[in-house]
């Protein structure tokens, strides 16, 4: 579905992504792991066309480089960015509705709103609450919900668990898994390797802007050397 071949990107003279080759199949949950500064966010930004990149970047065989940046969402790629980027002074409901701003299919939008509430029941209770008054975990739920309101075929999640209390984190990972089970493909950047290996189908490990390791989550989780050197696990 999504295919990257030899993808490169830089900030000025500093190269941030170096010849990245990566694939996401329909309905797959793929994790991008790696330490701070490895290039995970840059990779997701390159895919959603928030930054310029070179090399092959295709969705269903069609080059995303030929698509206007603002049309990427219309193709079904929804990006839930690092730091959430919500509208903190607006209500939960308004933030969710903004995720659907390009859509004209009112009935389907209402259905997706219900789906978000089924996934995160607390958001239905907090519908009228101002987002800045929610906990970090609840705000992350709004961010994921907003991305779902764009009706993604491919959901890009940037560190959905960062800075979130353990219990909510588990809830969020379970929700991500169930989003995948509804057929949405997911590419998720994550620093919590342990949790990501639990829910992902396949994994890429980034290091200094290139792919250092890749494999199924099962293969990587069972490889002691990879666990120790690349994932910081015992
Ligand atoms: N806006 C930016 N301008 C310049 N350099 C950046 C910018 N964003 C990220 N970088 C650099 O690019 C590299 C990759 O960063 P990033 O993709 O944010 O990594 P990660 O998400 O894995 O922590 C880092 O060296 C970082 O300092
Ligand atoms: Mg990042």
- Residues 95, 196: Cα–Cα separation, whole Å: 27
d(CA 172, CA 140): 8
Dump pLDDT digits (tens) for 89-99. Answer: 999 999 999 99
Is pLDDT of 158 > 90?
A: yes
88 in Cβ contact with 130 (< 8 Å): yes
Question: Starting at the edge strand that comes first in sequence, how are the strands of the sheet with 54-59 ordered?
Answer: 14-24, 2-11, 54-59, 62-63
Whether the CB of 234 sits within 6 Å of ligand 1: no
Rg (CA), the chain: 17
Write out pLDDT tens, residues 75-125: 999 999 988 899 999 999 999 999 998 889 999 999 999 999 999 999 999
- What pLDDT does 55 receive? 97
DSSP letter for 70, please: G
Question: What is the residue with the minimal CA distance to atom 7 of ligand 1?
Answer: 11
Helices 136-148 and 106-119, packing angle to 10 deg: 150
> Which one-letter DSSP state was computed for residue 225?
H
53-78 pLDDT tens trace: 999 999 999 999 999 888 898 899 99
Distance, CA of 191 to CA of 40 (rounded, Å): 9
Report the Cα–Cα distance between both ends of the chain, in Å, rounded. 34
202-207 and 185-190 strand pairing: unpaired
Q: How far apart are CA 218 and CA 63, in angstroms?
A: 31
Assess contact for 119 and 178: CB atoms under 8 A. Answer: yes
The per-residue pLDDT for 83 is: 82
Tens digit of each residue's pLDDT (9 = 90 or more) over 24-50: 999 999 999 999 999 999 999 999 999
Query: CB of 44 closer than 6 A to ligand 1?
Result: no
Nearest C-alpha to atom 5 of ligand 1 is from which residue? 11
Q: CA-to-CA distance for 157 and 232, rounded, in angstroms?
A: 21
Residues with CB in 5 Å of ion ligand 2:
40-41, 82
How remote is the CA of residue 16 from the centroid of ligand 1, in Å?
Answer: 7
Q: Which CATH superfamily is domain 76-191 in?
A: P-loop containing nucleotide triphosphate hydrolases (3.40.50.300)
For ligand 1, atom 9, the nearest C-alpha belongs to 42
Which protein residue's CA is at the shortest distance from atom 2 of ligand 1?
11
């Amino acid at each position: 579905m999504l295919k990257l071949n030899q993808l490169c990107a830089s900030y000025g003279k500093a190269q941030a992504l170096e010849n990245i080759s990566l694939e996401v199949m329909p309905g797959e949950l793929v994790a991008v792991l790696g330490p701070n500064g490895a290039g995970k966010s840059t990779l997701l930004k390159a895919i959603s066309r928030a930054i310029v990149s070179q090399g092959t970047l295709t969705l269903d065989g069609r080059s995303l480089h030929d698509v206007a940046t603002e049309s990427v969402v219309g193709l079904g790629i929804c990006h839930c960015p690092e730091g959430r980027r919500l509208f903190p002074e607006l209500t939960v409901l308004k933030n969710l509705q903004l995720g659907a701003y390009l859509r004209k299919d009112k009935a389907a939008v209402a259905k997706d709103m219900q789906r978000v509430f089924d996934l995160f029941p607390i958001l239905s209770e907090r519908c009228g609450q101002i987002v800045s008054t929610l906990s970090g975990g609840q705000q992350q739920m709004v961010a994921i919900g907003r991305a779902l309101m764009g009706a993604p075929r491919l959901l890009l999640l940037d560190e959905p668990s960062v800075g979130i209390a353990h219990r909510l984190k588990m809830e969020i990972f379970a929700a991500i898994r169930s989003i995948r089970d509804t057929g949405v493909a997911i590419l998720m950047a994550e620093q919590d390797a342990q949790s990501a290996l639990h829910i992902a189908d396949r994994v890429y490990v980034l290091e200094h802007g290139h792919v250092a390791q890749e494999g199924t989550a099962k293969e990587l989780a069972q490889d002691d050397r990879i666990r120790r050197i690349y994932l910081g696990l015992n």
